[in-house]
Amino acid sequence: MPRELGDKVIVITGASSGIGAATAFECARAGMKVVLNARRLEQLQEVASGVRHVGSEAHLVVGDVTEPGISGRMIDAAQEQFGRLDAVFANAGYGYQRAAVDLGRDDLRRIFDVNFFAAVDLLQEAARRLIAQNRGGHLLMCSSCLAKFTLPQNSAYSATKAAQSHVCAAMRIELAPRAIYVSSVHPVTTATEFFEVSRRLSGGGTAQGSVPGHTPKWFVQSPQRVARAVVKCLRRPRPEVWTSFTVRAVAGVMTVFPSFADLILRQAQKKDRKGM
C-alpha cells in the first residue's frame, strides 16, 4: 500500500531552484508541508509562494548548509511550525569541471563540505529526531548517476556523490529496525542552473545554457521528472531512485567492465577536445 503524504512535513535543502524547487512543488501537490532551505532569500520566497498557491504551507530557513547548527535549525523549524518531522531531502550541492591533478585541497574540502558533510549532518540530525518521535520517517539524499561511474574532469563531484550513496546504503540497514527509510536519488543530467554555476566555478565564464552542449538528448531530464520520482519514492520507499533505466544499466555495465568503460570515456574525451 502506498503511504499517505497528506499533512506530512519534509525539509528540503537547495530548494531555491532546480530539483529542490521542483520537489517542493510536487510535495506540496501531494499535500505535504515543506521547510525550504537555500542561501537566496528572494528565490526561496518565490518557491514558497508557489507552494502556497497550490494550497500547502511553507516555512523558510535561509542559510548555507555548511553553517554550524543549521541542520538543527531546519528540523526545529519543522517541529515548531508544523508540529512534526516526517522526511528530509538533502539536495543542496554543486560541481565543477577540473582535472583531478589540478584539484587544490581547498577545492576538495569545499565541495565535500557542501555535497557530503552537510548532507550527512542533516540526515544524522533528522534520524535522531525521528528516533525520538518513534513513528518512523524517510531520509533522502540527492546523489547522482555519477555515484556509480565518473567522467573526465568530474572526479571531485563524482567522489562526493559516491560517498553519499554509500552512506545512504549503510544508514538504510542501520535504521530499518526503527522504520526509518533511507533512499539515495540518482538523477542523470538535469536541465537546471547547475551547469552554469559549474562552468563559472571551473573558470569557464558565464556561458548560457542549462546543460553542456555535447550532452545527448536521451541523457537530459527535467527537474520535474526527478521531483515526481522523489514523491513516488516517498509514497513507496525504495533504496535508490533512478529516473533513467538506460543510464542505470550503463552504470552497471561500466562497473562490471571497467576497461570497456575507460575505452568509451577516452573516446568521448577525444571528441570533446576536437570540439574545443
Q: HEC states along 200-227?
A: HHCCCCCCCCCCCCCCCHHHEECHHHHH
pLDDT at site 228: 97
pLDDT at site 207: 43
Tell which residue, 164, 161, 115, has the closest CA to residue 139: 164
- Residues 96-145: tens digit of each pLDDT: 889 999 999 999 999 999 999 999 999 999 999 999 999 999 999 999 99
Show which residues are catalytic: 157
Q: Map out the domains of the chain as residue ranges.
A: 9-248
Per CATH, which fold does 9-248 belong to?
Answer: Rossmann fold (3.40.50)
pLDDT exceeding 70 applies to what percent of the chain? 86
pLDDT at site 2: 87
Identify the band that residue 199 occupies on the pLDDT scale cut at 50, 70 and 90. Answer: very low
Mean pLDDT along residues 186-207:
58
Burial degree of 168 (CB within 10 A; 0-12, 13-18, 19+): buried
What pTM, to 2 d.p., does this model score?
A: 0.88
